[in-house]
Structures are given as C-alpha cells and as structure tokens.
Structure 1
Amino acid sequence: MLVYCGPVGIGPKSGRNHIAYRCCDQGRKAYRQAPHAARRIDIGRLVFIGETWTKTNMAPLRGWGTRGKRLIARVPHGHRKTLTFLAALRAVAITAPCVFDGPINGEGFLLHVQQILVPTPKPGDLVIMDNLGSHKARIIRRAIKAAGAKLIFLPPHSPDLNPIEQAFARLKHHLRNAREQTDEATWRRIGSIPKSVSATECRNDFLNAGYGSV
C-alpha cells in the first residue's frame, strides 16, 4: 500500500511534529553534505531504487479543447487493478524493472532485490533508496553488500532527492495517455517504457535532483 505522509498539524501546539520536521531538515542537510551527494562524485556509480503504483483505469488529467467549451472525455470507472512498478535508475538507463500484481510488501521488495536488482550493481556502486522500514532488513543489506555495493538511505520525506521520481512521473503520464484498461496491456505498456528512456533523460533527472551538477 502506498502511503503519503504530509505535513499535518504543524503549529505552536505541535511540539512533536516540529521536532520531527527539524530532525528531517537536519537529516537532509547531512545527506547533502555526504560524499555521495557531492557535485564531484561520479554519478555513474549511483543507483537509485524506487517503487510506484499504476492502475488499469488511468486516463489523461487534462487535454486540449475549444476555447469556451467544456472538454469531454471518457474516463474508466468501476473495477480497476493496482500494480506496483519497481526499478533502478542509473545515469544512463533504467535497470532492474519489475511489476508486482497489487501493492507490494517487505517480502516482495526483498524478492526484487535478491533476484532482479543484485545482479546489476558493480563493485563500488552506491545503491540509494527511500528510508522505509521494509527496505532496512538485514538480509537486504547483506545482499547488496555481497554484490560489492554500498547501501545508502535517503532522509525521510525526501522524494526530491531521488531522481527516479521524475522518471516515474513520465511513466504515469505515458500510461494515462495510453489508457490501457486490462492487466496484460498495462504490463506490456510498462515493460516497453524502460527501453524508450534515453541516457540524456536519465542524466537530466540526476542533474535536476542535484547530483553531478556543475
């Protein structure tokens, strides 16, 4: 299940939340100053992991129409299927793509790491992922370490520091325009997207997130 945690209850009476967000701020600052986030780092060593949901009833959110007239379009309702897409983003390509049927849990994430992700990192790579409890199992750490890579966690509530989020935004835009409404068609459409992403797009995602900036 995808859970969004927004800034709730921040105010004079919200002491705990204020402390939590101050700690988050400190964590972001420390992350920005770490060697892997430095501008001089070889971004070819960075591997960002992420996951996002897709559905079989996705449709465009907006469109072009005649000025002064309502734009009418068909949008599917009723039964829909949720899929989870996981992948790794490098500075040149999207790698280790995987689609799960339905929401993902810790067991599913471990399966992705062991069978799909681990064969791709090279010795010396830095594998960076969101700060989630399901990502912190010791067996995940050991699997990545055994591949010769180092595991790093992003600060909490910091999607802007993970460049793969930009790739996911394009993925969902593509799926909305495609309007696939069956499981099989959605799977095929998702499977075709990683190969269509150019190295320039990947590098721009890194630069926009502050990695390798000049």
Structure 2
Amino acid sequence: MGYRKYNPGTKIAAVQMLAQSYSRPSICEALGFSISRQSVDRWMQIYNATQRVIRDPSEYEKRGPTRLLTTEDRVFIKELIRCEPGLAFMMKPTTLLSLATLHRNLVKDMEITLKKANTVNVRKSLVAKNIFVESMATVPADYLVFTDESSICSKDLLRNFSRSTKGDQADRSIIDPNATQFTLIPAIGFNGLLALTVTNQNVKGRNFAHFLKYALLPQMNRYPDINSVLVLDNARIHGGERIVEFCQNAGVKLMFLPTYSPELNPIEMCFSQVKSDLRRTQALVGCANSNWEIERTTYWVISASLCHKLYKHAGYNCPEIDASDSDNDDIH
C-alpha cells in the first residue's frame, strides 16, 4: 500500500478510540477511512514515546546525502570569499569537490552568489564619506548645485548589440574613426539644469573658471538660499584660489565631496543618462553639428524630475515633491 497522508484530527481520534479498546475495523468504519495496521501501530508508538500523536518535524531524521562540507569548511570558505571575493573556480586532477558541488554549497547553503563586481577604490575613505554625509543631513537639497566634466565621442557611443541571421556575426560600423571628442560641462540644481557648455577643447583650470564665473555663478544665489551651495569633486581643475575667490565674491558657499565617492554626486548619473540617450538614438553619427546635438540632448534628458530622483537617490535632504508638479521622465 502506498503512502497516504492523514490529517492530524484523524490521527488523534484514532489513538483516542484505540485507548478506549475499539478495534481497528470499527475505527475505520467510524472515521470513514481505511487505515492500515502499520499506520495505527506507528501512531500508538509515537504516542507512547512522546505523549503526542503528531511528531515534531525537528525530530525527523534528515534524508538525502550527508554534507561534504563541514561547518568549519563553510566558515573557512566564507572568510576566504570575504577577503578575496574575485576568486575563480578551477578544476584540478586532485580536486576533492566538483565545481557543481561547490557551486551548490555556495548558493543553497551559504547564500553566496556570483555578481557583477562593483569597483571600489582602496583609497576611498569611509570616515570622510560619513563625515560629509552627516554634515549634509540638515542642508536642504534645493540649496545644492553640482557640476563636473565628462568627455563625449561618437565612436565610444556605438550600440552594444546588433541583429543578424542565425549563425552570422552581428557587426557594427565606425562611421568616423577620427571623430572629435567633446567635453560636456553641465551644472544641475534640485530643480533641473542651471548652466551648460560643450567644447571640443581640453578643459583646464582656466576653462572651468571661465564657465564658473560667466555661466554658473550668475544663476546661483547668495548663501543661504536656493542654489547657494556649490559642490565639487576633488579634480585638480576644481581647486585653486581663483575658484574660491569667484565663489566668495558671488556669496556662494563652496564644498568638496570626499575623494572617490561618485555615488554622492548626482551629476555622475546625469552623464550616464545623456550618453545612454546618445547611444540609443545614434544622434552623433554623421551629425553636422555635434556640439548642438549634445546640448539639445542634455537639455532634454536632465529634467527637474530626473534631478529630484537623483538627489534623493544620493541621500540628500530632499523636500516633498507633489506628484502633479513632477513630469514623468524615467531613468533609462
């Protein structure tokens, strides 16, 4: 007879009737079930041993093969991966565990999975980052203005995927192998783009100072007010007495991000969004005026809605935004 599952109430009633000297056939007739002698004997055995009819699942013997890795082995592997997360699996003639077994133990038993690695600079200071985050906790997000530079070139923005028939290689063509490289310098506030310039020259300290003095600072306010705090990273062209002097003359408070902390700079994601759109549309391929096309795309992509999301994602003290006042731009 195959295995049959009985509900707990049936088991309890059967054991109670057996204790009252009812026979097995009469129990089956009363309960309306055909219960084997082996089942009745097993229920009585559990009752006599534990004074319970339903056995505690934690007392069941574990089925299946025994673990090949001991607790000490798993602790060692976890510590090894913590110290060297990029270790690769290698099969050798003297291997004690197959790759499948090791993978199964990592994923199912230790919940350790393989992921795309996030690059972290070893010189990044978490102490400096935490101090900066704490200092910004009470600063309204709409006070903050971020600016930075990013290079853009059409040959670096080709689509990553192409289509072809099965069995054939999918190609992509570089239309202009000597394409001009541009530098995009935007400045964003909580409510969108404040200033923008695109140049095909290498941006040096004097170029950034010119952008700051004539394009950005006239759009900012004296501290404390909306758009009155300029936040820069620690690039060399962002330093110098000239930058500090311009900000002081404009009444703008100047702050610097901790080193190697791009996650605190919302404009980094803006660059990613602009390049993603240029790659998607291939707007720079064969374009007669690439400078204008980059500016047009930047103005279209960096909306107030996007800035709201990026400021909040970076952890700044953002005010509540009415959904009806925000457009429906999504991060793509």
Q: SS where residue 47 of structure 1 aligns?
A: strand
The one-letter code sitting in structure 2 at the alignment partner of 1:109 is: F
Which one is further off, 62-71 or 204-213?
A: 62-71
Q: 1:198 to 1:63 in 2, by over 3 A?
A: farther
1:45-66: CA deviations, max 9, x gaps?
1001111000132312235777
Partner residue, 1:47: 145
Aligned residues: 193
Shift of 1:88: 0.8
- Equivalence for 2:310: 205
What is the CA deviation profile of residues 37-89 of structure 1, one whole-angstrom value per residue up to 9, with x for unaligned ones?
21x43211100111100013231223577787644333335212111110111
Report the AA paired with residue 105 of structure 1.
Answer: K
Output aligned runs, 1:61-140, within 5 Å.
61-62=160-161, 70-76=169-175, 78-124=177-223, 125-140=228-243
Equivalent residue in structure 1 for 2:252, among 137, 140, 149:
149
CA 1:66–1:94 in 2, change beyond 3 Å: closer, same or farther? farther
Q: Which structure shows the higher strand fraction?
A: 1
Q: Look up the equivalent residue of 1:75 and give its one-letter code.
A: I
**Conserved 8 A contact 2:184-2:197:** yes
Unaligned runs of 5+ in 1: 1-10, 12-19
Larger radius of gyration: 2
Q: Give the corresponding residue for 1:186.
A: 290
Give the secondary-structure state (helix, strand or coil) at the position aligned to 2:145: strand
1:46 is matched by which residue type in structure 2?
L
- The question of whether the paired residues in 1 share the 8 Å contact of 2:150 and 2:185 is answered with yes
Aligned match for 1:28, one of 83, 107, 129: 129
For residue 162 of structure 1, what is the aligned residue in structure 2?
265
> For residues 2-60 of structure 1, what are the alpha-carbon distances to aligned partners after superposition, in whole Å with 9 as ceiling and x for unaligned?
xxxxxxxxx9xxxxxxxx726x22211211111xx21x432111001111000132312
Pair 1:62–1:94, CA change in 2 (3 A): farther
Structure 2 alignment gaps of length 5 or more: 1-83, 85-121, 321-332
**TM-score, normalization by structure 1:** 0.80
Output the amino acid matched with 1:141. Answer: V
Distance 1:68 1:157, change over 3 A: farther
Contact map agreement 2:221 2:252 (CA 8 A) in 1: yes
TM, length-normalised to structure 2: 0.53
CA distance in 2, matches of 1:184, 1:105: 26
Query: Take 2:163 and 2:193, find their aligned partners in 1: how far apart are those partners?
Result: 31
Moved over 6 A (4+): 64-69
- Could you tell me the percent identity over the aligned residues? 23
TM-superposed CA distance for 1:141, in Å, is 0.8
Residues in 2 aligned to 1:67 and 1:46: alpha-carbon distance in whole angstroms: 52
